[in-house]
Amino acid sequence: MKRTIGTLCLLAAAVINSPTPAHAQQMPMRSLAELINTQEPGWELVSGWLKQAKNKVQVLPKSPMRADSALLAAQVTTRSPMGAVIYETGGILVDNGWLRILGSGNQGLDRDLMSWNKHKQQGFLLVADDVLGGFYAINAGAFGLESMGKIFYFAPESLRWQATGKTYSDFLVFCFSGNLSEFYHGLRWKGWEQEISALTGNQGIACYPFLFTKEGKNIAKNRRGVVPMAELWTFGQSMQQQLNGKH
């Protein structure tokens, strides 16, 4: 069943805030005052994870107006880590910008979470991506009911969505302190830090031969070019549908 982006937001909010998924379509749009939780702010939890981070993490400053607008669009309370990231940051860059966690938007990452999801496929909510065109999404039905609310990763080297088994909170902890070198084994090249640090959060790297081909497996030898992240998303999803089917 196709859902509008507004319904998808409510469904994701329902999953994150723990009511049953069936409640999602019945939830009325909440005001900003209802979404901002001052008693148990999720940012305290996220801040703790940031202080313990083992990876290089850059929290981009927010614009209050953009933060208000993004939180209203997402309909997630700031008691949740996702709501906290949206409301308290313009986004978060990890490992020199290799990973980009979407917040409310910033000059260095000029995409907020809900506007980035607009006109995308239904049934999941994109929350982060990496410089090579890997995308992280919260399952809101597209990947089965058993894994509702869990993060799936679209791998550019296989063109497949992979279950991570992680919640959004688990995912943040992984980004901040997990072994990213191991996760991205074979996908980093000598000098990658300097190469990607020059990019904005709206840009990624396209490789040729393509990463999902036999010829493209040695990324150090591939030709690399800077392209918009939107182009990497469209290309990856189009190729996936042609080669692997929808999911």
Is the pTM for the entire model greater than 0.95? no
Task: Give percent above pLDDT 90 in the chain.
Answer: 85
- pLDDT, residue 17, reads 42
Q: How long a stretch of residues is the chain?
A: 247
Mean pLDDT over 69-92 rounds to 97
- Determine if residue 186 is left, alpha or beta; phi over 0 gives left, psi from -120 to 50 gives alpha, anything else beta: left
Smallest CA-to-CA distance from 93 within 80, 82, 83, 106 is with 106
Write out the residue range of the structural domain in which residue 41 sits: 5-243
Residue 74 has pLDDT above 80, yes or no: yes
How far is 136 from 127, CA to CA, in rounded Å?
6
Please determine, for residue 2, whether its predicted confidence score (pLDDT) is greater than 80. no
- The C-alpha atoms of residue 204 and residue 161 are separated, in whole angstroms, by 19
Number of domains the chain is built from: 1
Average pLDDT over residues 88-117: 97
DSSP 193-205: HHHHHTS-TTEEE
Output the average pLDDT for the chain: 90
On the 0-12 / 13-18 / 19+ scale of CB atoms within 10 A, 55 is: middle
* The two structure tokens encoding residue 153: 């990763």
Range 109-135 average pLDDT: 95
Q: Cβ atoms within 10 A of the Cβ of 182, count?
A: 7
